[in-house]
Amino acid sequence: MKKYLLLIIATVFTMCNVFAQQTKQRVLAECTIDYMVDISELTGIDNTLAETFKATTKTVYIKGNKSRVDVKSPSFSQSVIYDKNTGNAVILREIGGNKFITNLNSDTWKKKNSNLDNTTIKTLDETKTILGYACKKAILTLADGTNLNLYYVPTFIPSVKEYEFQFKEVPGFVLEYESQDKNGMKIKYTATKINLNPVSANKFEIPTSGYRILNE
């Protein structure tokens, strides 16, 4: 009887270990994620603006403790390169052939994102499959009371959670989310491709020429 009891305990212990391994979060330290811009729910915008949004792309690169977020449209492009080790960030902008660079130390970077410091997150039971990954829904509430929806993969977590400052407390990797511009218009971004291959270190090199310095 004692022998059977020990066997049952051992079996249960093994099953618990397997379950824990299956549900344990995996840290993504090398990845590239492409997002599309969805304006299907937007109303009251002119055709020119609508076409601009349709042609806009967003790509997130993560490599170790560094991240880069590229947003490109027909008339404007911006890249934000962030270093988790130092807390510093660099913003590269290109408008009509003119190139600008803005260097932000950790204090300035935090101040720039201070409006997102008091963001609260409410996770829900609602789920959605994106690119084959089971995602959970969450609602971000900004300091001004604005609610934004997002879906995240709970089994993945980025090595640089601040790649999008408002996502730093989300318990997973965000694959779909709403963003709000300065005019209060909400825009939805949805991941269309995930590449887990190593990211080139060149993506995080800071240009030393060809850019005009622009202060925030």
Q: What is the 3-state secondary structure (H, E, C) of the chain?
A: CHHHHHHHHHHHHHHHHHHHHHHCCEEECEEEEEEEEECCCCCCCCHHHHHHHHCCEEEEEEECCEEEEEEECCCEEEEEEEECCCCCEEEEEEECCEEEEEEECHHHHHHHCHHHCCCEEEEEEEEEEECCEEEEEEEEECCCCCEEEEEEECCEEECCHHHCHHHCCCCCEEEEEEEECCCCCEEEEEEEEEECCCCCHHHHCCCCCCCEECCC
pTM above 0.85, yes or no: no
Of 2-6, 95-99, 192-196, give the lowest mean pLDDT range.
2-6
Residue spans of the domains in the chain: they are 26-213
Convert the pLDDT of each residue in 36-88 to its tens digit. 987 755 555 555 555 556 688 999 999 999 999 999 998 899 999 999 999 99
Confidence label for 117 from pLDDT (cuts 50, 70 and 90): confident
Rounded to an integer, what is the distance from CA 193 to the centroid of its chain?
13
Average confidence (pLDDT) over 130-151: 93
pLDDT at 186 over 60: yes
The percent of residues above 70 in pLDDT, for the chain, comes to 82
Taking the C-alpha atoms of residue 113 and residue 12, their distance in angstroms, rounded to an integer, is: 47
- pLDDT score, position 182: 66
Does the domain at 26-213 match CATH 3.40.50.300? Answer given as: no
Confidence label for 92 from pLDDT (cuts 50, 70 and 90): very high
Cα-Cα end-to-end distance for the chain: 74
